[in-house]
Chains A and B, each alone.
Chain A
Amino acid sequence: MSRCCNEFSRSSLLHRAVAEAGSGLPAIEHGMPVPAGTGLDRRDLLLRSAGLALAVYGAGSLGFPGFEDGILEAAEAAPNQPVLVSVFLDGGADSLSLLAPIADPDYKRLRPKLALPDSGLVFTEDPRLRWHPEAAALRTLHLEGKLTVVPTVGYTDADQSHFTSRHYWEVGATNPGLRTGWMGRYLDKAGRPDNPLQGLSLDGELAPPLATHKAPVAALRGADGYRFWAPGVWGEVESEMLETLGPLGAARGRGDKALASIAGISTQAQRLRHQLAPFNGKGFGSPVTYPQHRSGFPQRLAGLAALLAGGLPLRCVAMRAYGMYDTHSDQPDQLAQGLKLTGESLLAFQRDLEARGLADRVVTLVWSEFGRRAEENGSRGTDHGAAGVAMLMGTQVRGKMIGELPKLKEGIDRNGNLKATVDYRSIYTSLLEQWFDFDAAGAIPNAKAYRRLELVR
């Protein structure tokens, strides 16, 4: 039986809840940071030209027609904008398994049951290391020079709460009070007031790294199966009945939170019912074959490539990878499944971009909130650690390892966790400057404190 720790699933839940902005704060335990994006107004938009049902956040004073114009204008004004895709490995990915130091004498001592066998997939930049046997797709990208690996990334005194550490990564600062995401602040400065596609969440809910102060951002979600069925009612009576949902929900006013929420949701439901009626899923016309998977992760990447090929003005995109990386138990299976599908999907996405001639415009950042404890626990798993793993993918990344995986004897802190050799804000500041040509001080607090890395060719 496999289980993640439960603070983990709570954290994902709260993030999801918070993303449904517009009807108040979720219940958050004392001391937990409030996820970025909380309190943003959410509105729905059907972008008819592109057949997309969008939830738009931070809509400001503009109505929806304005957005459609803004999206068109943005697409025409800057057709070849660089795009940054953030892919989150949810739960704390284990870098000691992704890049197993099989020759390190301490590896087998710390991981007597979990140490990986020699996969034969040598990590060419550090021959002590072997790729996880299911990470062959990532190795292919690395051999082609399209994958930069950051084996030990994090920050000083890593917080071991999923919720808090993830928040720090999302907002780009170790500040529990910050409510905007690091990419969101970039969009606030460099984005447009009328193009919600500039910050797009692909998980159907606002991704906190994209939370802005004022610029609109959007979330794409599933669009079929939203039908209202009423027993013993049909025809004209049914039409009248369903048109009553919104007014009925608002019939008692919005005098308190519960009434406001039911008024808002009823109105949204009625609108959504109309918006989704004409929508039916069309293929993405992908030139490559993606893995098929019930999670929908590969399909979301396929959809993203199609959106970019369609000329939509995307700039920052965020999504969760497939997999459960909070491997407190049953780590071998959990990790293998996650790494395999995520790696193969990313490779397919890269191939898709290459085939469509878009590859030079897209950099993908893969990250996780922390790593695992170096020493395995007694449940064929590992507990929360400190430094985690990050990767950058694309034809424009340098493909050279940043930082290192030190000898275990020296690389472990007094809590038994891997020490970070690179601060995650070094990645953020360097990407903002080298990929977006944007002064990182405008988005990352105390930006000058972080060493810049050579990430982009």
Chain B
Amino acid sequence: MSQTATKVPVYRGEFGPAQAERLLWRAGFGPRRGEAEALAKRGLDNAVHALTRSGRQRFVGPRAKDEKGRPLAPRDAWGHDHLWWLDRMVRGNRPLMERMTLVWHDWFATSNEGVGSQGLMLRQNALFRRYWLGSFRQLATAVTRDPAMLLWLSGTENTKWSPNENYARELMELFTLGAGRGYTERDVREQARALTGFRNDWREGVGPTRFRFDRERHDVRTKRVFGHRGRFDWHDAVRLCVTHPRHPSFFVPKLWSYFIPVAPPRATRLALERLYVRNGYAVRPVVEAILRHPLLYNGPRMVKPPVVYTAGLLRAAGRGIDTESWTWLCANAGQQLFYPPNVSGWNDERWLDTATYLARWDLAGRVTRPAALDPNKVQAPFDADKLLDRALGFWGHPPLSAGTKRVLRGYTARALATANSSWKKKSYPALIENSLRHLIAVSPDLQTS
């Protein structure tokens, strides 16, 4: 294993707070105050290990509550599912576990829009968390019989009498092989037959329940899939996909794309594919290799997904979940958890447009609002540099590029210059400090990592 692993290039440059900060954003939800500096001291390898082999789950900070101070009801109240998970992202000490759970939620994207049960969605979420860096083969197998998925892609409507191709098609097209890669329309139909047999009951007041495999509904006859013949069932259907020769070349670039926004170089991709297959389709070694890859540290920046952006701002501001607004605000920004737009998940390259930009603006404003300075009570310094430094302090002094600092300083000077009377000279600095907090949060430095 280590021999293969060495063929994936490893970052050997400086691993300081800036690199640690990027790692914490890509593999989590950004640093809390002082976290980047602490992680940098451990060096790259230990830092990656700290993320991939972290210990017991602990939660730090104030417990999540709604506006009225009541605990969340993630199984029942609309939007509380989103808040419940966001809270784990904000307060949890195992950021990569939450991030991988988000990866699998996007990979096997299931929407409560089609499932209609927050309870079943949370059950699926627990499944993703359980397999976070485990075997992809086991994960794909477990997902195939997951109740939310069975409802979402018509798994329990797929019977030997009337096969439904929905899951079979997506299993190959989106989950394991890629569109048109190594399968035919006939394979879709045959796989649908192999996947027949799941059923569930429906009980008044409970909804869909008793999900199970019913041999009576399963088509036991011989199928022909990818040129293999056999009396395949759902275990075989998944196995045939994951062991298909074209699966690793689908899996690796897709997993990679969640961490690094440019495609892996060919040699890296092939080495990662070998690593993946030789480890029996285990995810951990691949993720560890990606997190140590030079392109993560010296490659291009990535736009933060809306929930990552939101959780990160809350972590930096030291604020917990205390309002239900994060659900609709994140939805406006294009990402409501448990409601991906469709089975291919969120489009990670298209987070920003003029509408979602406005939504991110609103998110940032909502984080800063409770702490907004009242110019009648607080007198802020009439000094551009001091104002900027104070505003940066609100976010735990994230590193800003020189260009961003220049624009913010220029703005501050212009805004101060509008204070042409004594009452304005007193009150405007506080307004400007408020505005600087907001502007820092929507700067390219904080919207990307």
Q: Which residues of A contact B (CB under 8 A)?
A: 1, 3, 5-10, 13-14, 17, 20, 23-27, 29-32, 160-161, 163, 226, 228-238, 240-241, 244-245, 247-253, 255-259, 261-263, 265-266, 268-269, 272, 328-329, 377-379, 383, 415
> Given A29-B344, A228-B358 in contact, is the A261-B165 Cβ separation under 8 Å?
no
Question: B408 — which chain A residues lie within 8 A by C-beta?
Answer: 244, 248
Question: A328 — which chain B residues lie within 8 A by C-beta?
Answer: 154, 164, 166
The contact of B406 among A251, A259, A383, by CB within 8 Å, is A251
| Interfacial residues of chain B within 309-361, with CB under 8 A of chain A in the complex | 341-344, 347-350, 352-354, 357-358, 361
> Given A248-B408, A248-B442 in contact, is the A26-B350 Cβ separation under 8 Å?
yes
What's the least CB distance linking A170 to chain B, in Å? 17
CB distance A23 to B352 under 8 Å? yes
Which B residue's beta carbon lies closest to that of A5? B166
Question: B152 — which chain A residues lie within 8 A by C-beta?
Answer: 3, 6
In the complex, what distance in Å separates the CA atom of A245 from the CA atom of B349? 21
Question: A32 — which chain B residues lie within 8 A by C-beta?
Answer: 179-180
In the complex, what distance in Å separates the CA atom of A180 from the CA atom of B369? 47
CB distance B347 to A13 under 8 Å? yes
CB distance A7 to B357 under 8 Å? no
In the complex, what distance in Å separates the CA atom of A252 from the CA atom of B402? 8
The contact of B414 among A26, A240, A268, by CB within 8 Å, is A240
What's the least CB distance linking B58 to chain A, in Å? 32
What's the least CB distance linking B365 to chain A, in Å? 5
CB distance B347 to A14 under 8 Å? yes
The contact of A231 among B257, B365, B439, by CB within 8 Å, is B365
What's the least CB distance linking B392 to chain A, in Å? 14
Question: A263 — which chain B residues lie within 8 A by C-beta?
Answer: 444
Q: Check: B37 CB closer than 8 A to any chain A CB.
A: no
| Interfacial residues of chain B within 413-449, with CB under 8 A of chain A in the complex | 414-415, 418, 424, 428, 430-432, 434-435, 438-439, 442-445, 447-448
CB distance A10 to B179 under 8 Å? no
Per-position binary interface string of chain B over residues 236-272, scored 1 when its CB falls under 8 Å from any chain A CB and 0 otherwise:
0000000000000010000001000100000000000
CB distance B403 to A251 under 8 Å? yes
What's the least CB distance linking A167 to chain B, in Å? 12
In the complex, what distance in Å separates the CA atom of A244 from the CA atom of B361? 13
The contact of B157 among A163, A262, A379, by CB within 8 Å, is A379
CB distance A269 to B358 under 8 Å? yes
What's the least CB distance linking B230 to chain A, in Å? 23
CB distance B354 to A265 under 8 Å? yes
Q: What are 25 A-B contacts with C-beta separation under 8 Å?
A: A3-B152, A5-B166, A6-B170, A7-B343, A10-B174, A31-B180, A226-B354, A229-B362, A231-B365, A231-B438, A232-B434, A233-B435, A233-B438, A237-B431, A240-B415, A245-B442, A248-B404, A251-B401, A251-B443, A257-B300, A261-B352, A265-B352, A328-B154, A377-B162, A377-B163
Q: Check: B193 CB closer than 8 A to any chain A CB.
A: no
**Beyond A3-B152, A231-B369, A252-B444, 9 additional pairs, beta carbon < 8 A:** A13-B342, A27-B350, A160-B185, A229-B362, A244-B407, A250-B444, A251-B401, A258-B302, A259-B448
In the complex, what distance in Å separates the CA atom of A257 from the CA atom of B351? 12
| Interfacial residues of chain B within 103-128, with CB under 8 A of chain A in the complex | 114, 116
CB distance A3 to B114 under 8 Å? yes
Question: B154 — which chain A residues lie within 8 A by C-beta?
Answer: 3, 328-329, 379
In the complex, what distance in Å separates the CA atom of A79 from the CA atom of B115? 52
Per-position binary interface string of chain B over residues 144-159, scored 1 when its CB falls under 8 Å from any chain A CB and 0 otherwise:
0000000111100101
> Given A7-B169, A241-B439, A378-B157 in contact, is the A233-B179 Cβ separation under 8 Å?
no
In the complex, what distance in Å separates the CA atom of A7 from the CA atom of B434? 45
CB distance A9 to B161 under 8 Å? no
The contact of B343 among A10, A163, A235, by CB within 8 Å, is A10
Question: B92 — which chain A residues lie within 8 A by C-beta?
Answer: none
Question: B415 — which chain A residues lie within 8 A by C-beta?
Answer: 236-237, 240-241
CB distance B341 to A9 under 8 Å? yes
CB distance B435 to A238 under 8 Å? yes
Which B residue's beta carbon lies closest to that of A32? B179
> Given A231-B369, A244-B407 in contact, is the A258-B178 Cβ separation under 8 Å?
no
CB distance A240 to B411 under 8 Å? yes
In the complex, what distance in Å separates the CA atom of A6 from the CA atom of B149? 12
CB distance A378 to B350 under 8 Å? no
Question: A1 — which chain B residues lie within 8 A by C-beta?
Answer: 114, 116, 151
CB distance B347 to A228 under 8 Å? no
The contact of B166 among A6, A31, A237, by CB within 8 Å, is A6
The contact of A31 among B161, B179, B411, B448, by CB within 8 Å, is B179
In the complex, what distance in Å separates the CA atom of A9 from the CA atom of B178? 17
CB distance B303 to A25 under 8 Å? no
> Given A13-B347, A26-B347, A228-B361 in contact, is the A6-B342 Cβ separation under 8 Å?
yes
The winner among A1, A32, A251 for most chain B CB atoms within 10 A is A251
Question: B162 — which chain A residues lie within 8 A by C-beta?
Answer: 377-379
Q: Check: B368 CB closer than 8 A to any chain A CB.
A: yes
CB distance B403 to A253 under 8 Å? yes
Q: Count B-side interface residues using an 8 Å CB cutoff.
A: 78
Question: A378 — which chain B residues lie within 8 A by C-beta?
Answer: 157, 159, 161-162, 164
What's the least CB distance linking B338 to chain A, in Å? 15
Question: A231 — which chain B residues lie within 8 A by C-beta?
Answer: 365-366, 368-369, 372, 434, 438
Q: Check: B373 CB closer than 8 A to any chain A CB.
A: yes
Q: Check: B7 CB closer than 8 A to any chain A CB.
A: no
What's the least CB distance linking B192 to chain A, in Å? 10
In the complex, what distance in Å separates the CA atom of A24 from the CA atom of B157? 39
Question: A266 — which chain B residues lie within 8 A by C-beta?
Answer: 357, 442
Question: A232 — which chain B residues lie within 8 A by C-beta?
Answer: 368-369, 372-374, 430-431, 434-435
In the complex, what distance in Å separates the CA atom of A419 from the CA atom of B411? 65
Question: B180 — which chain A residues lie within 8 A by C-beta?
Answer: 30-32
CB distance B354 to A269 under 8 Å? yes
Question: A244 — which chain B residues lie within 8 A by C-beta?
Answer: 407-408, 411, 439
CB distance B444 to A262 under 8 Å? yes
Q: Check: B212 CB closer than 8 A to any chain A CB.
A: no
CB distance A252 to B445 under 8 Å? yes
What's the least CB distance linking A279 to chain B, in Å? 14
CB distance B348 to A10 under 8 Å? no
In the complex, what distance in Å separates the CA atom of A268 from the CA atom of B404? 18
CB distance A248 to B443 under 8 Å? yes
Q: Check: B173 CB closer than 8 A to any chain A CB.
A: yes
The contact of B448 among A161, A235, A262, by CB within 8 Å, is A262
Which B residue's beta carbon lies closest to that of A30? B178
CB distance A230 to B435 under 8 Å? yes
Question: A163 — which chain B residues lie within 8 A by C-beta?
Answer: 179
In the complex, what distance in Å separates the CA atom of A96 from the CA atom of B185? 23
Q: Check: B224 CB closer than 8 A to any chain A CB.
A: no
9 residue pairs, one from A and one from B, having the closest CB atoms:
A232-B372, A378-B162, A31-B180, A6-B343, A256-B300, A9-B342, A232-B434, A30-B178, A231-B369
Question: B448 — which chain A residues lie within 8 A by C-beta?
Answer: 258-259, 262
> Given A10-B344, A20-B350, A377-B164 in contact, is the A329-B300 Cβ separation under 8 Å?
no
Q: Check: B181 CB closer than 8 A to any chain A CB.
A: yes
In the complex, what distance in Å separates the CA atom of A234 from the CA atom of B418? 12
CB distance B350 to A30 under 8 Å? no
